Amino acid sequence: MKTDKKFDVIVIGAGMGGLTSACLLAKKGYSVLVLEASHMPGGCSSSFYRKGYIFESGATTLIGFDEHQPLNKLEQMLDIKLPKEPINPPMTVHQNGKTITRWQDKEEWLSEAIKNFGEEQEQKRFWNLAYDVSDIVWKVSGMNNFFPPLDSTDWIKLLKNNPKDLWVLPYALKSVKKTAVETGISNPEFYRFLNEQLIISSQSMADETSFLFGAPAITYTNYTNFYVPGGLIEMAKTLQNYLSKHRGELITRQKVTGIEKNGSEFKVFTNKKKVFKSDIVLSNLPVWNMAELTQGSVSEYFRKESEKYDEAWGAFTMGIVTDDQFPEEIFIASSDSY
């Protein structure tokens, strides 16, 4: 079955990246089609229903709504409000019989870290440095949507950055672990804690994560964390509703099987034997998926990019339903270390 309808842009994948791109393009007046292989939008920021209960498909809580952060900016740009309720404290960690509360307040968390890991002065140096680097990373990333710069306009925009923020750049070449060692921290249980936190937030270990990226990753509980009533799918639905009101369309259960370019026009083929046409194709898929979907030199490019990575990271998630009654003040998010 084929379609003759043509769109300005086809977006492949209805994760948050794909939905966000589609909504921003629709706001600019483009006709946009989003194709999603799953039966629900949202990707790793989605939910599914099973026997009357809502389970998250990946993430369980949200950040990004504080100043300089991307979801805050998205709400402003689209003039929408994503459904959310604040959580404080955002997380508890159970490690070696200890309950470690990840308080949002920076000083409160610092006291908690010292109580559990000792080395008071070293902990203060490490976390105060992490706070400072993290705040600058969020501020700079919020001001620079296109980095590295692609043209003269992007370079001009870089001049708006404060030169005083450049002191954080060396931390792009220094790992979280090396930074912690240099602040004097020696407690092995603290490094175990750091690894567990980074696996959650950056999917890598302390000796593999640059401190420039790791600082925001390990301090994300010190920003406002949110729970989405009804599951994270409600966030995706909000963007889907915006898209549908602005010349956009989302079709689920349409797995893209091929992309073909004829002149200036693209044809996108799906497993339902449909063909969609557009002037531009924007992919929200991982680089490993693209070689088999494209052709010629483009396919070769993606194949070479894929071969640069000989290791992959995965996660196993499990949802549990219980009929136990829990106190209202119970902490909603937790991370168990074994």
User: b/e per residue, 212-243, with b = 16+ CB within 10 A?
Assistant: bbbbbbbbbbbbbbbbbeebbbbbbbbbbebb
Reported as a pLDDT band with limits 50, 70 and 90, residue 280 is: very high
**Considering 163, 191, 223, which residue would you say is the last residue of a domain?**
223
Query: What is the pLDDT, as a whole number, of residue 148?
Result: 62
Does residue 258 belong to any structural domain of this protein?
yes
* Three-state secondary-structure class, residue 142: helix
How many domains would you assign to the chain?
Answer: 2
Whether residues 198 and 233 share a domain: the answer is: no
Are 99 and 144 in a shared domain?
yes
- As a whole number, the mean pLDDT across the chain is 90
Q: Is residue 315 scored above 90 in pLDDT?
A: no
Q: Residue 335 falls within a domain, yes or no? A: no
> Is residue 336 one of the residues assigned to a domain?
no
Residues 63, 123, single domain; the answer is no
What distance in Å separates the CA atoms of residue 233 and residue 261, rounded to the nearest whole number?
33
- Does 34 fall in a domain? yes
Instruction: Specify whether 15 is located in the same domain as 71.
Output: yes
pLDDT in tens, 237-262: 999 999 999 989 999 999 999 999 98
Residues 99 and 66 in one domain: no
Note whether 133 and 204 are same-domain residues.
Answer: yes
Flag whether 334 is in a domain.
Answer: no
CATH of the domain at 287: 3.50.50.60
3-state secondary structure of 229: coil
pTM of the model: 0.85
CB 242 within 8 A of CB 32: no
Strand, coil or helix: 30? coil
Tell me the residue range of the domain where 165 lies: 93-223
Q: Tokens representing 24?
A: 């921003």
- 107 with 158, same domain: the answer is yes
